[in-house]
Chain A
Amino acid sequence: MSDELEQELKEVLKRVPAPEGFAGRVMERVATKKRQQVRMMPFRVSPIWQTAIAAAVLIVLSLGGVGLWQRQQERRKAAMVQRQFEVAMRVTGKTLDDVGERVSRLGMKGERER
């Protein structure tokens, strides 16, 4: 019984030589897959263009950042100017009001003296 099983196993597990050119085909497929993995872009771009695109992205991002920062600074400055203008107008209005009151007071005093 055990001899029979042994024979069967030997038959099944016996060394079978690979078909001709099998190793070559496998190596070729591996190389193709590697090449596909390395290529990041869907189309080929020359290094000069890659640099130009990187530079353009850098410039656009920088200018956008500066623009945003500039707008924030301008907004802050405008708020400060607005406050100062309000203070100036309040002081001017109050001063002119006081002057008007003083002048009318003096006018009434002059009329009474007459």
Chain B
Amino acid sequence: MKIRNGLVRVIVATAGLLLSATSMLAMGGLQQKDELFAGTEKFAQGAKATTEVNLDKNMLGMVGKFGDDGADKSGTDLAKKMDFVIVHSYEYAAPGRYKMADVEEFRKRLEDGGWSHVVKERSETESTDVCVKVDGNGQFSELVVITAEPTELTFVHLKGHMSMDELSRVGSHYGVPSVDGKKKDKDKEKGK
């Protein structure tokens, strides 16, 4: 009888262990809080395509962990330098699907908090804002980009220690031609 009780106890303890391990895994899905772009979800209404990415430091640590990044490790290296990556991008089928006044609300948030405005461009239908916070080494520690076009609206918020060159290199690694590459192409076309 005693032996049977002992075995039951062991089974219960093992089940408890398994349950706690499962619940610990389930808890691993927390996202980075972003007060700067809190509320941008409203732009998803009426959007043809929506891209929303929110990766915190823990999740960024998983980039390239199982060798999914190929031979070029620039993406993995950059991910390790970052604290978080937040991207909200909305594409609309036609112009006028969102109000520019609503975007203004998010631009105003950049006026406080020690942001340096690198690019601020306004036209009737488009607007661009690029703001950075720079650290002592001349690298930026935080980058915010807000671009509003008639059919496209993008919010990017990156935190980490990286250079513009690194970002550009990683962009080209994942399918976006680098600015230099484009210049070279254009120069070639001019040469013809």
Q: Contact residues of A with B, CB < 8 Å? A: 47-48, 51, 54-55, 58-59, 62-63, 66, 70, 73-75, 77-79, 81-82, 84-103, 106
Contacts and interface: CB of A to CB of B under 8 A. Distances in A.
B75 A91 contact: no
Interface in B97-156: 119, 121, 126, 128, 130, 145, 147, 154, 156
What are the 6 closest A-B residue pairs judged by CB atoms, nearest first? Answer: A93-B171, A93-B176, A55-B10, A88-B53, A78-B62, A88-B87
A78 B168 contact: no
B75 A85 contact: yes
A110 B178 CA distance: 24
B65 A78 contact: yes
Nearest to B79: A85
Given A89-B171, A97-B179, A82 B62 contact: yes
Which range holds the interface residue count of chain B? Answer: 35 or more
A89 B147 contact: no
A40 to B, nearest CB: 17
A107 to B, nearest CB: 11
A91 B6 contact: no
Contacts of A63: 17
A95 B167 contact: no
B14 A59 contact: yes
Main secondary structure of the interface of A (DSSP, over half): helix
Contact of A59 (B10, B22, B164): B10
The interface centre, meaning the residue of B69, B119, B177 with most chain A CB atoms within 10 A of its CB, is B119
9 contacts: A51-B7, A51-B10, A70-B21, A79-B68, A85-B60, A88-B87, A92-B85, A92-B145, A92-B171
Contacts, number: 133
A62 B14 CA distance: 7
B191 interface: no
B150 to A, nearest CB: 13
A85 B145 contact: no
B63 interface: yes
Given A79-B68, A99-B147, A94 B6 contact: no
Contacts of B168: 93, 96
The interface centre, meaning the residue of A59, A98, A101, A106 with most chain B CB atoms within 10 A of its CB, is A98
Contacts of A86: 75, 174
Contacts of B188: none
A96 B165 CA distance: 11
A89 B75 contact: yes
Nearest to A82: B68
